[in-house]
Amino acid sequence: MSPQFGWIGTTRSQAVESLLRRVLKEWHADWSVHPSESIDIETAEERAPFQGGGLALHSKQGEETVLIALAQVDLNCFGAWLAGLPEAPHALAEEVGDSALRDFAGRVGACMSGQVVLAETGKVGWPATATHTQLGALLFRVRVGKFRLPLAVTRIGVDRLAPPEHRAGPMPDNWASRQHALEDTPLTVEAVLSMGRISLREINSLSPGEVLIGECSVSSKAKLRIKGGTRVLASGVPVRRGQLRAITLTSEPSKQELP
């Protein structure tokens, strides 16, 4: 982290990690039949793999303001492990897993200043502020026995868990405002073009030189998103501009959440 972007320093990040570890210990004591099993909060150096659904805490003032994001896990296996049940598909095990995860997220929310709302986040996708450290996110892995649950705390979530000390006086000349720092952060944008459906057998039989013909028309729209995220920024039609790829937008780009 460059000095001028120091809105989350070591002191605050360690405070958040310690708080999460304390919450995890109390939660584990109430939910798991494996009291001696190893648990911990680990710092994740790489981007959190938030490709599927999961749970998120939002500020009550706006559903789009994500405070923490907890990636989904196999609820059946997780619940079975917590309750000491067989790992075969079982409605009770899945209910235990779902309730346990919601309770953990709720306990973290209880440590935050202000009101929060717990919601599933699968259809909308994860915002970039929950998957990129460049935008102030703290990334962790919640280690519970054999399970590793990706957990992200956004910059706003950090402010709720470990409020910053307000500095008296004007901002130093070599510091950038949060808004300016985030807006100037370079992020890789990718265009995703749907090809249609294909069976796993067909995928495994592919070889170099084959032509994969999809079900979608050549005029089908591509979806623009920030690399590493799942939230669609806009949609458009692929075109060429000389030797460069280009997208002609066909929808109004969504405004990205800036902490």
Same domain, 204 and 163: no
Per residue in 101-112, pLDDT tens?
999 999 998 998
Same domain, 174 and 192: no
Same domain, 153 and 47: yes
- Flag the least confident range among 96-105, 106-115, 137-146, 248-257: 248-257
Whether 256 maps to a domain, the answer reads no
Whether 183 maps to a domain, the answer reads no
d(CA 248, CA 28): 51
Same domain, 120 and 160: yes
Give percent of the chain with pLDDT exceeding 90.
15
Give percent of the chain with pLDDT exceeding 70.
78
Same domain, 148 and 166: yes
Question: What's the predicted TM-score (pTM) here?
Answer: 0.64
Same domain, 35 and 139: yes
Same domain, 109 and 228: no
Whether 142 maps to a domain, the answer reads yes
Whether 228 maps to a domain, the answer reads yes
Whether 254 maps to a domain, the answer reads no
Q: Return the axis-axis angle of helices 10-31 and 91-110, rounded to nearest 10°.
A: 140
Per residue in 57-69, pLDDT tens?
887 655 457 788 8
Higher pLDDT, 170 or 68: 68
Same domain, 29 and 144: yes
Contact 224, 191 (CB under 8 A): yes
How many separate domains does the chain show? Answer: 2
Whether 82 maps to a domain, the answer reads yes
- Sequential DSSP letters for 78-115: HHHHHHT--SS--HHHHHHHHHHHHHHHHHHHHTSSS-
Domain that holds residue 172: 3-178
Same domain, 125 and 199: no
Return the CATH number at 128: 3.40.1550
Whether 255 maps to a domain, the answer reads no
pLDDT for the residue numbered 107 = 92
pLDDT for the residue numbered 16 = 92
Length of the chain, please?
259
